[in-house]
Structures are given as C-alpha cells and as structure tokens.
Amino acid sequence: MAWWNAVSRCSKFHNGKPILKVCMQSAVYEVGHHHNYHSAVPLLQHFKVSRRFDTNTLIGPTISKPKRKDEPDKIIRIGVLGEPNAGKSTLINSIVGEKVSIISEVMNTTRESIYVPYNTGNTQIVFIDTPGIVPFQVARRLKLGRMQITAPRRVIDECDLLAVVIDLHSKRKRERIHECILDLLNSNSQFPSVLILNKIDVIKRKSTLLKYTSILTSDRRKGVWGYEKDGGYSGFKSVFMVSASNGDGVQDIVNYAIEHAKEGKWDYENQIKVDLPMDKCIAELFRETLLEMFRHEIPWQVKQMTLLFGEIDDDTCKIHQKLIWPKKSQAKYVMTRSDEIKVKTEEKLKAMLQKKVLLTVDVSSSASLARNLPF
C-alpha cells in the first residue's frame, strides 16, 4: 500500500474549513485546508488510528474480480487531467496491468484522448487519458495539434469524475495546480473531482506529503494580475497518493471508482483493452520509438501511415509503416537510424500482438502529405 491514501471528505470542520482524512499505513491524519501550512501543524498532532485499510504493498496490475450474473452492471468514466509528464499514462497502464498508452520522458507525448476500459467484477471503469494541458499561447508556440489542445478541456463533457494528477517530482509543479485546470474546476464546481499525487516514491520525508496535500487542497487565489504562485482547489472529494511506476496506491483509486460507479450498460465489451483502431496502435508505438531516439522537431513533425497489416499465419503477421516528414533533411537524418527504429519498434509490436512480426519501414518526405494527414 502507498504511504498515504486519502479517503473521503470528513464531516469535521476547523475554522469553517472542511478536513480531509489522509490514511498512512493504517493511521489516519486530519489535514485542514490552510493556505499557510504551518497553521495546520496543530491538527497533525492529533492522530486517529484506523484499521480500515490493508497495508500490503501492491506492485503491478490491480486486482480484477470475475463478473457475477446475479449483480447489475455498473460503469464510471474517469477523465484524467494533468500537466505534461505528470504520469497520467503511466498511472493508467499501472492500473490495467498492460501498456495501453505510450509513455516517454518527453513532454506532450499523448496527442489525443485515449479511452481505456478496465473491468472488475460487474463494474467497468473507463479511463480517459488526455494530453497534458497547456495554455493556448504555449500550444501555438509548440505547434501542437488541435485535438492535443482541446481534448483536456472537453473531457468534462464525457466523464463522470475528474481525476487531477500532480507530479510530486517537479519542484515547480508540486505546490500548485495549473491555471487551466483550475479554470475548468472552478467553472464546474459541482462536478465531482479527486486529486492524485503521483511519484510519492521520490519524497523521502512523509510529513512533506501532508504539506503538499494541505497546499493543493487550499484554494489558489486569483487576483487582478492572475493566480497566486501556490495553491490548489478545495473542492476535491478525495486525495490519493500513489507511485504509478511501481503500483503503490493505485488499487485505492480502483476501489473508489467501484464504490462510486452507477448502474448502466458497459461502453465496451469485456475483451476490449483500448478504444483505438489497430493501425493507430501501431502508429503510436512507432511514435514512442521516435520520441525515445530523437529530440526537437523530428518526433513532432512526422506523419504516419500503416499501409499494410495482415496475418501470414497464426503466429506471424506482416506490417508496413510509412513515416513522412515535411523536409528532405529531416527524412535523410532519420534514414541514418532506420534500422534501429525498425528493431526497437518490432520488439514492441511483438509484445503487443504476442506474435512474430515481419516489419518493413519506409521513410520519405512530402510537404503536402505532412500538411494534410491528421497524424
């Protein structure tokens, strides 16, 4: 189990402010909503012990239960929001136990919303993995696509619960929630939302996590000149502290989702792992390889076409991928490492398809195709 796992909002109040319950290895701490962390210290000296939570460490996929015919189907859709590199895709991969979203250390890896169903018992949890949210002016400077800009802002129309992921590894980001996310939360204050503090494994002092919880669950004030430097949102229903990279705490998110799911027909059949056509899954694996191998504009300006995907027999399939850049110099540079691209992507395709893959790659340049193809 993770060090800390905040559960539901407590009915207690301190100076008119609601108090969150934060569980740390079976000990429950009460954290008040204080803009100044030091004023919350007296609350931390009154611990309450609870045995509600199992302290076994969970590493790997979460525990999925078989479906029961005597119970009604339930469903909940969770929109996962956060800044670039907060670990949204890694978190979803950790929960479902499979690599369904590509991950990279490079910012803005996810280009459009990806729908990932996870089934446990009679409950289907649909995670909506959104691109990292950025201001419009930054998106224009980076030449991000339209879907990459608008998808995070539209996710509230498609989900039942918003989950805001914070990167605790980033000193610049771990004491404030991004302005664009705050605007979305504040304009939909009645919409249920939870806070997920990710990468807790990098925090050595456990008391420091209480500090970040207090800051991020206190409203970030907005004045004439914009938002203050630090602060968050006081409307979160729960706070979860997890390490998506090793699985700590992710089961608590699943348990919360099951508890709040409502009766309804599932969006996806039981065998569906991700709502992406096969050609796009293949293209995404190629793009992940490019992000790992190249920097600057090379991964961002590529356009991809899966020209062939077919089975030769039960154990072998053949794939032909075309990679197109707008400039000849870019394509020429990539050609020098085309064999490496092929080898690395072939291994990923084998793992995804569970088959031997005969892969061919065509690298070329075309300004018109690069301009007109969507991806």
**pLDDT tens across 118-149, in order?**
999 999 999 988 887 766 566 565 555 565 55
Residue 86 lies in a domain: yes
For range 232-253, the mean pLDDT: 92
| Spatial distance between the Cα atoms of 239 and 5, rounded to a whole number of angstroms | 7
Of 205 and 358, more confident: 358
| Spatial distance between the Cα atoms of 28 and 374, rounded to a whole number of angstroms | 50
**Domain boundary, last residue among 239, 263, 287:** 263
143 lies in the same domain as 239: yes
| Spatial distance between the Cα atoms of 60 and 230, rounded to a whole number of angstroms | 33
Residue 271 lies in a domain: no
| Spatial distance between the Cα atoms of 367 and 300, rounded to a whole number of angstroms | 14
Q: Is the pTM of this model over 0.85?
A: no
Extract the tokens encoding 196: 């997920």
Residue 272 lies in a domain: no
**Domain boundary, last residue among 200, 231, 263:** 263
Extract the tokens encoding 192: 């249920």
Domain span at residue 321 reads 278-372
**Domain boundary, last residue among 231, 263, 295:** 263
Give how many domains the chain has, as a whole number: 2
Write down the pLDDT at residue 58.
33
Sign of CA pseudo-dihedral 242, 247, 250, 251 = negative
236 lies in the same domain as 338: no
Backbone angles phi, psi at 134, to 5 degrees: -135, 155
164 lies in the same domain as 40: yes
Residue 268 lies in a domain: no
DSSP tally for the chain: helices H, then strands E: 12, 16
CATH at 342: 3.30.300.20
Residue 299 lies in a domain: yes
Residue 273 lies in a domain: no
Query: What is the percent of the chain with per-residue pLDDT over 70, rounded to a whole number?
Result: 71
Residue 367 lies in a domain: yes
Q: For residues 192 and 160, is the Cβ–Cβ distance under 8 A?
A: yes
CATH at 15: 3.40.50.300
Using the predicted structure, report yes or no on whether residue 56 has a pLDDT greater than 50.
no
For range 58-65, the mean pLDDT: 56
In DSSP terms, which residues pair with 81 in a beta bridge?
Answer: 164
Of 95 and 280, more confident: 95
184 lies in the same domain as 228: yes
Q: What b-and-e string marks burial along 174-190, b requiring 16 or more CB atoms within 10 Å of the CB? A: bbbbbebbbebbeeeee
202 lies in the same domain as 76: yes
Q: Which distant-in-sequence residues (6+ apart) come within 8 Å of 285 by Cβ?
A: 102, 345, 348, 349, 352
